[in-house]
Chains A and B, each alone.
Chain A
Amino acid sequence: MPHSTNGADSRRARHIALVILGALIVVATYLYLVVWRPTEIAHTSTGRASLIAIGGYVIGAVLLAVGSIHRLPTTTVALIPVAIALNIVVGQIVSVIGLPVYLDSIGTVLVSVLAGPAAGVVTGILTNVIWGLTLSPIALPFAVVQVVIGIFAGTAARWGMFRRVYTAPLAGLVTGVVAAMVSAPIAAFVFGGATGGGAGAIVGAFQAMGQSLLGATTLQGLLSDPVDKAITFTVVALLLIALPARFLQRFPFARAHRVFGRTGPKAAQTALAREG
């Protein structure tokens, strides 16, 4: 073999270090913005806070993605573009059909469940990069939110929360709460709360009730994100239950962590029938 086990080990250590560093930066950014509450916000400007919000989140998310992508096998790499297309196209269909939810992270959740949190992280961040390249660059600062969704969905899958339809929405709720909290500083400091018509009005209402800008965007996020993520996780769980076992078992992560429970003789039978 051209490279020794030693080289592979050190590369692996470097990737893990990147992931840990990325995660630390994201957490530190959030804590700095929320716990320290830079005093300037109360006055006239959010400039530096927003620079820290964008910079910390984007750098953290990029490090997480760079550390994660090397571990992905070709099957997973081939899955990610379709999953991102799914995020974007389903997000659009939903708005065409006129449903009161976003469902724009179905692909991210699906990939995380099948191929693990690392794959979810890459799908999440690249979804927003592509959104930025095609539709609107304002999606970019929010990349970290999709990254959070990827990590949580992958972890929930590892804990077996996608084996039953009723545990998936619970995982979705928790993910939604964290997503809302992480995105609030961006919505507040970068966008002044004005991320969309409806959301902006709600932020205004909370501010009028005496909340700070960050408080208002956090509360606004908590109103919409947990419900949306609970629905997204449920839809993914339903879809996966309807899928043939053979597809699901192709993914080493799904197999190793028995994401869908045990593979019984039934799965073997069906695998045979397909190849016949």
Chain B
Amino acid sequence: MYKYILRRILIMIPMLVLISIIVFTFSKLAPGDPFTGEFDPRITKDILDKKRAMFNLYDPPYKQYLSWLKNVLQGNFGVSMRFGFPVSDLLAERIPNTLFLAITSLIITLIVSIPIGIISARRPYSLIDYSATTFGFLGLATPNFYAGLIAIYLFSIQFGWLPAQGTITAGADYTGLALFWDKFKHVIMPASTLGLAQTAGYMRYMRSEMMEVMGKDFIRTARSKGMPERVILYKHTLRNALIPIITLLGFEFGALVAGAVITENVFSWPGVGTLFLNAVINRDYPIIMAINLIIATMVLVGNLLADIFYVIVDPRIRYD
């Protein structure tokens, strides 16, 4: 197992290199550079050229890439051309926020979708099932920026229950439990909107997975042993139904981070999504590269984690 994980991690390296080459090519293909949009006429071309030279923008692209790669191998993601700060500092500010958002979203998704999925699988074509289905489809069909806006309108402005923007209350200086509660109130709305489609999807998926497993022979075996319904549902069925869900989860992370671009925008959530959006617009390629690399790594690690979880829930799978 450990050897397997190690191998998987090693194999990520060439993948990441390839990804970085592609991203680099893309960002070099895009016209302009971070200084194109900055044309304060008092800032003469010479000043800009000096800055461009500072970032080696006049080197041939392959050289730029190689020096970037060399730096990354030494753990240095370079300096943002736009902000002048080390990219790693910028990311360190934002990644925790995005992770917090994404993980909360994932938790909400699971907390909501799995039980509802189970209930609708247990009573298919019941009122609950139909309501869940309707909600599910609505969730799938509502663009999440709109869901976010409507949520802000309702819960923040009309009812005043939840804060609309940011991660914590500015100037409140909460500590301990109050801080936690404050953060929770801030994250709940963006996290739910971010996970809206996922929640809906998982719910449908859970339902069909549960129904499928319920039809399996071994459930009949468990029934024939006189196991109560509760045991059959939560022990025998659920564990099997969760297996494919876990695979999905592995892929989910990348999607969440991508979706975060939009949600972060609506909720002014200071995460990597908005940073990335701006970096793309500004051609701040050290940031683009770093974020892509990190997302790719997260996706790869997500897949790896999914595989590891897989082993935990499904004894049929063994890696060695």
Q: Is B truly associated with A?
A: no
